[in-house]
Structure 1
Amino acid sequence: MTPKSYSGMANVRENGDFTDFAILCEEERIDVHRVVISGKSSVFYRASVVSRMVEYMYTDDYSDPDEKSTTEDDTDGDNELPVLFLHTAMAALADKYDIQGLISLATEKYTKCLANDRDFAKFLDSIPNTYRMPTEASQPLREAAVEFARAEIRTAMNQGDSWHAIQERDIADNFVLGGARGCR
């Protein structure tokens, strides 16, 4: 983000425009933008996830970061909450607190995001949460992740000479089997 963007963001916060979260420190209330502070601090990110869990308990739904985002001039995405990661974090929290409907909703939202946002780097960031959960609870998330990865690999293989490269025995062995040998 450019210094000009930071200045604009600070002005929006100071004016109280579009703030959606408050930090209480002794007698002082500091209005902030959840999307900004969550992107900068894992503590506030976790609070954002817990807040969404509570939102689900009251509404049977939770807001996606894009629904709450108010930083229209933040076009480089530096302050964007990682949506795929959010959905896997929601599923993990739902598993921890045995909120079955929330696991289903988080899985549904995760799957829809994978279909709509083909960003492989964001996808990879979401994988650790999925595989830290117990297999039974995370199986639908895992299936969605595997299907997405397979589709991305198929797409890559159908572009240019990629398919011919994969057919080379040494490349295929190193890429596929070599990685599998390191799995536990």
Structure 2
Amino acid sequence: MSFGNLELGHVVGSGEYSDMKLVCQGCEFKVHKVVVCTQSPVLATAIHWVFQESRTGIINIENFEPSTVSRMVEFLYTGDYGDPLFPHTEGFAAFLRSSNYLINPSIASFPDEIKKPTSDDITASGMMLQHVQINAIADYYNIERLSELSRSKFQQACQSTWDTQSFIDATSGALGLSGDGALHEVIATEAAKNIHTLLEIDHFADLIGEFGTRVLRNCIKKAEADQHRVFQLRFDLEQEHSKRQAAEARADRIIENIGRCVQTMRERGFCRNHSCMAEYQCYIERRGQSFEPLYTLRCAKCRCKN
């Protein structure tokens, strides 16, 4: 995020001109009211009303981890945040290292956030759950754009790195941490796509309850029956369509045959049999199948086919 020619991501690391602090488990974030309060009505209210925060300019955050707060700050200054298990967006991590955020160096959670993770750290569970945690802090402080972004990143994580147990863990976290109904809708949508697998996991059944599990199982049975019925109807429709096409083709051939007979009667004056050559008088002979008759003209005198 930028303001004119000023990159705000660079401003947060220096702590210069900061007029507000976010403190979480000993980690101190020196921020700027004009950046933070314009994006969070909740923090703006805490700063501007007659709370202790309005006198000290310090907001104590107790319900979230420092790593989650750091992602929120990153978003407020850059408009984005890196994947939860990877370093911050380009340039932001360096400013976190150079800043005086860690007033208690013994806290390991925040320094570990900045270090590049190992392959063992990079799990679908961590990805999904930490997007949920970021959504929870966005919902708590009413940062709408961060809520939207975290929902989008959560959905992308589900679709690109699906893992059943990880999804269940993230779902449990979302129901307990976040009141964002839109996130719950995203979770419900992704759950519906994988409902057969999820219902085999006891923990998921515990989340929705025994009655909910029964309802879903019966919904699945009905959906499968409806799907079978649709398949049968589609097959029957295709069969009828084939029959109709065949009937139309037969009708076209019959009409064409009759047309040739009529044309012959109009054009011919004498029998085509040279030994007959009688003035042309004919009758129509019907042959072929009952469902597709074949009509032939024959001379009434010599019975020659004309």
TM-score with structure 2 length normalisation?
A: 0.33
Say whether 1:48 aligns with 2:67. yes
Structure that is richer in helix per residue: 1
Q: In structure 2, do the counterparts of structure 1 residues 80 and 126 end up closer, same or farther at CA, with 3 Å as the change threshold?
A: closer
Offset at residue 70 of structure 1 (A): 2.7
Say whether 1:94 aligns with 2:145. no
SS at match of 2:129: helix
Say whether 1:58 aligns with 2:77. yes
Q: In structure 2, do the counterparts of structure 1 residues 112 and 78 end up closer, same or farther at CA, with 3 Å as the change threshold?
A: closer
Equivalent residue pairs, number: 119
One-letter code aligned to 2:152: E
Q: In structure 2, do the counterparts of structure 1 residues 47 and 117 end up closer, same or farther at CA, with 3 Å as the change threshold?
A: same
Alignment of 1:1-184 (within 5 A): 46-68=65-87, 70-71=116-117, 74-77=118-121, 82-132=126-176, 133-134=178-179, 138-154=180-196, 156=197, 176-177=213-214
RMSD, matched Cα: 3.6
> Could you give the per-residue CA deviations for residues 121-165 of structure 1, whole angstroms, max 9, x where no partner exists?
11111113322333xxx22211221121121125x59xxxx9xxx
Kept in 1: contact 2:128–2:157 (CA 8 A): yes
- 1:128 and 1:176 map into 2 onto residues whose CA distance is 16
Kept in 2: contact 1:111–1:141 (CA 8 A): no
SS at match of 1:98: coil
One-letter code aligned to 2:213: V
Offset at residue 63 of structure 1 (A): 1.0
Q: In structure 2, do the counterparts of structure 1 residues 75 and 139 end up closer, same or farther at CA, with 3 Å as the change threshold?
A: same
Q: Which has the larger radius of gyration?
A: 2
One-letter code aligned to 1:70: K
One-letter code aligned to 1:177: R
Q: In structure 2, do the counterparts of structure 1 residues 81 and 49 end up closer, same or farther at CA, with 3 Å as the change threshold?
A: farther
Percent identical among aligned pairs is: 25
> Could you give the per-residue CA deviations for residues 85-133 of structure 1, whole angstroms, max 9, x where no partner exists?
1111111101111111110110110111111111011111111332233
Instruction: Give 1:37's aligned residue.
Output: none
- 1:115 and 1:84 map into 2 onto residues whose CA distance is 11
Kept in 1: contact 2:124–2:163 (CA 8 A): no
- 1:99 and 1:52 map into 2 onto residues whose CA distance is 13
Structure that is richer in strand per residue: 2
Kept in 2: contact 1:130–1:142 (CA 8 A): yes
Offset at residue 53 of structure 1 (A): 0.4
Instruction: Give 2:255's aligned residue.
Output: none
- 2:84 and 2:134 map into 1 onto residues whose CA distance is 13
Higher relative contact order (CA closer than 8 Å, sequence separation 6+): 1
Kept in 2: contact 1:94–1:100 (CA 8 A): yes
